[in-house]
Amino acid sequence: MSVVVNGETYPLPEPRTLAALLLSLSPLAPFAVARNEELVPRGTYEECPIEPGDRIDIVHPTAGG
Amino acid sequence: MERRNIEDQLTLYGQSFTSRLLLGTARYDSPSLLSDAICAADPAMLTVSVRRQISASNDTGQSFWNLLRDTRRVILPNTAGCLTAREAVRTACMARELFQTNLVKLEVIGDEVNLQPDPFGLVDAATELVKLGFQVLPYCTEDWVLCRRLMDAGCEALMPWAAPIGTGQGPRNPRALRELRERVSQIPLIVDAGIGLPSHACQVMEWGFDGVLLNTAVSRSLHPVRMASAFAEAIKGGRNAFLAGPMIMQEKAVSSTPEIGRPFTSESSQSAHPQGRATGPV
């Protein structure tokens, strides 16, 4: 039972929330998160459930033209 | 000649700027070079993007964030690389969350060879993003119908290309760009992509475009800081020329120095050329 974070497989967090997953991954701030391609607003990570097979994208600021 | 506004500021979605240069932040050799180029260019906005974390990269993450914050410039996130309207909308939502701005430079790419905008996806994405409260600046072509559809969708500024992204070719289709400027008088037009030289930027500003968005022309020049300064001056010069109202081109030479009173001539020879002759450069 796993989730896919930025294209890589990770074990499901416990409890099964986005907040728990982010706690284990510790991405450097600032970042924004999408679950199954839908933005998860900051401040709602605790309430965001994680299911097996979910696709999580974590993005950061980067240079752009 | 129409009276033109002397109090000259670029206004995009209610925000006013003294600078008419928008600068991209990509492809600089180092963060310090980017920072110095920003100082030299004095841009109204900086374009940025969102990506998954790339380790050991200079231009991503926290250090890049700190550099941006220190510039105190308005941030314009893009949806670079998106190939569908759906992808672009989702990327814009991520960018809004990250950068806390409703502004978005909307890119929906329709061809991976020349990075040409997808006009259909662009209109679909712009329509959706405007509904979601975004302030959309679409990267588009000079196609009049596309531009009209984007305005109908609620875009309050448009960003037609000069040439494909990163080519530096300068305006490929000057006549169409100028016709677009003549027809779109109610909202700002920023020329985005394909500018290679300060003379290209100056040229489009002379045509009455409201600003220029640049990246590669500065970042991949031999001396990006100097080039940033050159572009800033060129854009100001072009804008001033537009505001000054250029002379109307003439078919025939017209003497700029008075013919009357020219020495060593007889009365008869002066009267034989009543229209005057060119006596030297202006």
Q: Where are the domains of chain B?
A: 10-244, 255-282
Cβ of A63 within 8 Å of Cβ of B48? The answer is yes
Q: How far apart are the C-alpha atoms of B105 and B155, rounded to whole Å? A: 11
Residue B253 predicted with pLDDT over 50: yes
Residue B282 predicted with pLDDT over 50: no
SS3 B10: strand
Residue A17 lies in a domain: yes
Sole residue written with tokens 């991405």 = A27
Q: Which residues have C-beta within 8 Å of that of residue B77, sequence separation ≥ 6?
A: A64, B47, B48, B49, B50, B92, B95, B96, B98, B99, B101, B103, B104, B105
Residue A64 lies in a domain: no
Q: How far apart are the C-alpha atoms of A40 and A47, rounded to whole Å? A: 10
How far is CA B48 from each of CA A52, B51, B75, rounded to the nearest angstrom?
33, 10, 7
Residue B274 predicted with pLDDT over 80: no
Residue B281 predicted with pLDDT over 60: no
Q: Is the preceding omega at residue A15 within 30 degrees of 0, hence cis?
A: yes
Cβ of A62 within 8 Å of Cβ of B50? The answer is yes
Residue A62 lies in a domain: no
Cβ of A61 within 8 Å of Cβ of B54? The answer is no
Q: How far apart are the C-alpha atoms of B181 and B191, rounded to whole Å? A: 11
What's the confidence (pLDDT) of residue A56?
Answer: 97
What's the confidence (pLDDT) of residue B280?
Answer: 47
Q: How far apart are the C-alpha atoms of B184 and A65, rounded to whole Å? A: 25
What's the confidence (pLDDT) of residue B60?
Answer: 61
What's the confidence (pLDDT) of residue B278?
Answer: 43
Average pLDDT rounded to a whole number, residues B248-255:
93
What's the confidence (pLDDT) of residue A1?
Answer: 84
Sole residue written with tokens 């959309």 = B136
Residue A42 lies in a domain: yes
Average pLDDT rounded to a whole number, residues B63-87:
96
Question: What is the extent of the structural domain holding A29?
Answer: 2-55
Contact status, residue B28 vs residue B59, Cβ threshold 8 Å? yes
Sole residue written with tokens 């037609």 = B160
What's the confidence (pLDDT) of residue A39?
Answer: 97
- The packing angle between helices B119-131 and B85-99, to 10°, is 40
Residue B19, both tokens: 């600078």
Residue B58 predicted with pLDDT over 60: no
What's the confidence (pLDDT) of residue B1?
Answer: 43
A30, A59, A65 member nearest B52 (Cβ): A59
**Considering only the top CATH level, what class is B10-244?**
alpha beta
Residue A28 predicted with pLDDT over 60: yes
Average pLDDT rounded to a whole number, residues A29-54:
96
Give the CATH number of the domain where residue A42 resides. Answer: 3.10.20.30
pTM, 2 dp: 0.89
Q: ipTM, 2 decimals?
A: 0.94
Most B CBs within 10 A among A18, A22, A39, A62, hence the mutation to make, goes to A62
Residue A63 lies in a domain: no
Contact status, residue B91 vs residue B50, Cβ threshold 8 Å? yes
Q: Is B105 annotated in the active site?
A: yes
pLDDT digits (tens, 9 = 90+) for B129-173: 999 999 999 999 999 999 999 999 999 999 999 999 999 999 999
Q: How many independent structural domains does chain A possess?
A: 1
Residue A51 lies in a domain: yes
Residue B165, both tokens: 């992204």
Long-range contacts of B123-128 (CB under 8 A, 24+ apart): B123/B149, B123/B150, B123/B153, B124/B85, B125/B79, B125/B82, B125/B85, B125/B88, B125/B89, B125/B92, B126/B150, B126/B153, B126/B154, B126/B155, B127/B153, B127/B154, B128/B85, B128/B89
What's the confidence (pLDDT) of residue B279?
Answer: 45
What's the confidence (pLDDT) of residue B259?
Answer: 86
Residue A38 lies in a domain: yes
What's the confidence (pLDDT) of residue B46?
Answer: 98
pLDDT digits (tens, 9 = 90+) for B14-44: 999 999 999 999 999 999 999 999 999 999 9
Cβ of B165 within 8 Å of Cβ of A28? The answer is no
pLDDT digits (tens, 9 = 90+) for B168-210: 999 999 999 999 999 999 999 999 999 999 999 999 999 999 9
Instruction: Determine contact: A37 vs chain B, CB below 8 A.
Output: yes
